[in-house]
Amino acid sequence: MKKKRSVWSSYLVKLFSLIIFISSLTFADNQISPEVKTRSEAAAHEKAASVFENLLNQFKEGDFSQKIAVIKQITRLNDKRTRLVFERLVHDRLFYAKDATQRIYSAETTPGGYRLTDVISGQNIGEVSQGSVAKIKINNRLRKTLRTSLAQLDMSVKDPDIRLKAVKSIGNVLNEDTVKFLRTILPTETDYDVRTAIKASLAMVDLHADDLNVRLEAIKSLSVTLDPEFNTELKELLEKDSAGNYLEQDPQIIEAATNAIKKIESRVSFYEHLQTLFFGLSLGSVLVLAAIGLAITFGVMGVINMAHGELIMLGAYTTYVVQLLMPNHIDIFLFIAIPAAFAVSGLFGILIERGVIRFLYGRPLETLLATFGISLLLQQLVRTVFSPLNRSVTTPSWMSGSLEINSVLTLTLNRLYIIGFTLLVFLMLLAVLKKTRLGLEVRAVAQNRSMAKAMGIKTEWVDAMTFGLGSGIAGVAGVALSQLTNVGPNLGQAYIIDSFMVVVFGGVGNLWGAMISGLSLGLANKFLEPYAGAVLAKILVLLFIILFIQKRPRGLFPQKGRAAEG
């Protein structure tokens, strides 16, 4: 019994000693001073910086194959200066000093030489002569490797759009290293579009693998993409020889590739129709914006205003003038140009109504001729003031560019904003006519002018304000058109016929009719253009309107009231 106790006692002693030993190690580790840790971290950082600098110095000499190996080593360091070095190098902006230091600099060209920045320390060196530094030479192969490395660096960015562009860039240079890199990052990628792009790039490689299942999986991955390059790769699997036989021997691959191509082409066709729909809506929005003012004046006053296009032109020139007055505020000048264009065109409209049109009520042919003469006068006025040359209006940065949904569907921002702007103007005009006293009087005069006058409404004042309102809306349309085309004396002539078509087709004096008819005509034009061409498409639309008016002379939404009935 004593022997057993002694054995157990020895075990306990050993266990206790082991616990003390481990505790002492932990205690010793915890007792390391912050200064020692800081010095250790600093030493590690200094060592990494030294490695980065040594690798960077190898760019100054050596063959291009050696430089490619150096690029790969620098990429693996994850140094924050890597991106600057690679970007400078790919744009031929990396130099080294010809003196004994041979320091490497990022350089910007100046009239007297180069302005240098030390890429190691980030210190601004100042300007030096061209002869004091030498450019680090690269070739196209090296430049391609640099772009691939930059794309790999972008894969660590949080923005999925940047990562998606990086994957597409890497996909253009598929080799053993890039394929290995894509396979490594695929499990950790969370964004659906980026994952799909990675799978498609890897599928390009797996498409030619020896394993049948791998090839079938690659075809499946490519079937969900829209990139024409991937579609071409699938079509190569269905190539035939001179006898009409498939070069691909496996029937499963042929069937899978055929089904994948059909699926891709079906999706491409769908997005192409969406693209056409977008362009049709944008064209229709322009037509609505150009015609909605004419719908008011024509509906209320019965005046055929051939100068309506020139009122649009005045709004466009007002936008141009506001741009000249605000050269340092391009991003906000449109917010000033919109009310300015409304005021200028509206004022001209009131002057036209008070000076000419009020003497010609009840004589539509004479108002047509008079307003046509006014349109010529306005064209000559802008030719005298601004010259006959077209003027360009700058697009603000927030309206520039496009929204890329996929490789087939892209929405240009300026047209997208114009669609929204048209809806906003339409709703505001609708609110004015439905919710204000002016709108009530306008509707009263439009339905029965004599009764409205008998009820004490000043019809002459209503006529002037209505013509001014319609003309002001035309000026706002000019602001929108200035973002789509150049501003010139003949700008309004391109839209006057279309505006009358929209008003007549929709129903004279009906805002909802103008909206629906304008969008319908825009869509019809864009869907007919691929089959008939732009000119023939317009002719076909015009023929349709003529036939439609034969059946429904008052348009889609005829005006109601005693005046309309009479």
509 belongs to a structural domain: yes
Q: Return the C-alpha torsion angle 198, 182, 168, 238, nearest 10.
A: -60
169 belongs to a structural domain: yes
Same domain for 304 and 451, yes or no, is yes
Same domain for 393 and 468, yes or no, is yes
Hey, what amino acid is at 435? K
The whole-number pLDDT of residue 2 equals: 47
Q: How far is CA 45 from CA 6, 40, 49, 55, 107, in A?
A: 55, 9, 6, 15, 26
Last residue of a domain, one of 141, 163, 190: 141
162 belongs to a structural domain: yes
3-class DSSP assignment, residue 456: coil
Last residue of a domain, one of 141, 169, 191: 141
CATH number of the domain encompassing residue 529: 1.10.3470
Q: Which of 302, 338, 384, 276 is nearest to 483 (CA)?
A: 338
Same domain for 301 and 417, yes or no, is yes
Q: Give the global pTM.
A: 0.72
Same domain for 288 and 340, yes or no, is yes
Same domain for 341 and 442, yes or no, is yes
Hey, what amino acid is at 211? D
Rounded CA gap, 550 and 557, in Å?
15
Same domain for 343 and 438, yes or no, is yes
The whole-number pLDDT of residue 345 equals: 93
Same domain for 205 and 315, yes or no, is no
33 belongs to a structural domain: no
Only one residue has tokens 């693998």, namely 209
Same domain for 128 and 180, yes or no, is no
Stated as kind and residue range, the H or E segment containing 412 is strand 410-412
CB 526 within 8 A of CB 276: yes
Q: Which structural domain, as residue segments, surrounds residue 136?
A: 47-141
CB 238 within 8 A of CB 257: yes
Last residue of a domain, one of 224, 249, 274: 249
Same domain for 57 and 201, yes or no, is no
75 belongs to a structural domain: yes
543 belongs to a structural domain: yes
* Buried b or exposed e, range 182-202, using 16+ CB within 10 angstroms: beebeeebeeeebbbbbbbbb
Token pair for residue 161?
């759009």
Same domain for 331 and 360, yes or no, is yes
Same domain for 232 and 296, yes or no, is no
Same domain for 547 and 501, yes or no, is yes
The whole-number pLDDT of residue 202 equals: 87
**Rounded mean pLDDT for each run of 10 residues along the chain, 566 residues in total:** 52 54 50 50 54 77 76 79 81 82 83 82 82 82 81 82 84 80 86 86 86 88 82 84 82 89 90 92 90 80 84 93 90 92 93 88 83 92 90 88 84 91 91 86 78 83 88 92 89 85 81 88 88 83 84 74 44
The whole-number pLDDT of residue 20 equals: 54
3-class DSSP assignment, residue 376: helix
Token pair for residue 89?
């190098």
**Domain total in the chain:** 3
275 belongs to a structural domain: no
244 belongs to a structural domain: yes
The whole-number pLDDT of residue 563 equals: 42
Q: How far is CA 66 from CA 56, 138, 234, 438, in A?
A: 12, 12, 36, 80
